[in-house]
Amino acid sequence: MFIDGIAILEAMRIADARHEFPGAPGYLNTAAIGLPPQRAVDALQTAIAEWQGGKAHAPAYDDDIAAARRLYAQLAGVPVGWVAIGSQVSALVALAVTAIPSGSRVLCPDDEFSSVIFPLLVRSDLEVTFVPLEALPDAIRPEVDVVAFSLVQSADGRVADLAAIETAADDHGALTIVDVTQGVGWLPFDATRFDVVIAGTYKWLLSPRGTAFMTVRPEIQTRMQPLYAGWYAGEDPWDSIYGPPLRLATNARRFDLSPGWLNWVALVPALELLLEVGVATIRRHNVGLANSLRDRLGHRPGNSAIVSLELEPDFDNARLEGLHTAYRAGRLRAGFHLYNTEEDVERLAAALSS
């Protein structure tokens, strides 16, 4: 009998990682809030105790932030000099939008998440057009200047055709702004293929809300305005905290937002865990469970860790007791991650089909 050694190794990695989530059974709402691994909780509790005991030292947090930046650069496949830090997706999208000249024509998917499109729509000097996600690559034509979209749609988990979008955008010279919040951590991608890539970390990266990343190609960095430039955007933050002249970092750090220190302490061990397991391994695990649910419910297999289901109007939500899911765009949304098992699939399938 043939033994798939790689599959066995991946299963062991998933099993080892699952021990870090003791309170996870029945939790299927990672697309809203991810659960922290024990190592992240331990790091945060230690930092809180140091803060409470008067032992916190502000410059010491720089090591955590630098480590998080390096780890995310590894995850996204970019040089560390491309990575800026922030707190929320919308603030980083707003920075990216400063690279768009007045009068530009912007293309977005229908029903795109508001943090991606609101920073565009508040610009009255931009022409923003919406098309179905599946039609996005064909809609990128010479008259389109910018394409802004999510790698994975928040409402229903549909995955954008990155290769087709990249090819069309390159062919027509369109600027690309990509929100990867619902994909980073379980779906491998190469951020070097796009101009600006933004990620919130509190979902699939299993980290505290209030941390986010943005990768920016060097040629785009010179077009963006550092609207929120503060002390942490300096070339040497602790030597440029008072007085002129303006002396910002020469790479993407010039777009840094001042960090909420404790959040970054917890982020580092969460990123380390994801890299230890491997994003490709996590994808196979997550999508495998999602497809197991689809199969049990008579649906075709998909390519997403998120399953979106239309329920009967008279569906009794009490049947979902003990299962943590969400409703988005009028449909039930379930997401599968490291801490989920076939038992979660069985419980949800039974609740939906009984």
First and final CA of the chain: distance in angstroms?
A: 38
Prior bond of 101 cis (ω within 30°): no
- Give the SS3 label for residue 162: helix
Pairing label, strands 331-335, 146-150: unpaired
Tell me: pLDDT of 5 over 80.
no
Q: 3 falls in which pLDDT band (50, 70, 90)?
A: low
Q: Give the alpha-carbon dihedral of 299, 301, 307, 313, to 10 degrees.
A: -10
The residue ranges of every structural domain in the chain are 5-30+278-353, 52-275
**Token pair for 252:** 């993407």
Distance, CA of 276 to CA of 61 (rounded, Å):
23
Tell me: pLDDT of 189 over 80.
yes
pLDDT score at 318: 87
Residue 149 contacts residue 136 (beta carbons within 8 Å)? yes
CATH of the domain spanning 5-30+278-353, picked from 3.60.20.10, 3.40.50.10490, 3.90.1150.10, 3.40.50.1980:
3.90.1150.10
Q: 9 falls in which pLDDT band (50, 70, 90)?
A: confident
CATH of the domain spanning 52-275, picked from 3.40.1190.20, 3.20.20.20, 3.40.640.10, 3.90.79.10:
3.40.640.10
pLDDT tens, 286-329?
999 999 999 999 999 999 999 999 998 889 888 899 999 999 99
pLDDT score at 1: 43
Edge to edge, what strands does the sheet with 146-150 contain?
Answer: 83-86, 212-216, 196-200, 175-179, 146-150, 105-109, 127-131
Tell me: pLDDT of 64 over 80.
yes
Edge to edge, what strands does the sheet with 331-335 contain?
Answer: 306-309, 331-335, 326-328
Give the dihedral sign, CA 322/328/330/335.
negative
Residue 353 contacts residue 339 (beta carbons within 8 Å)? no
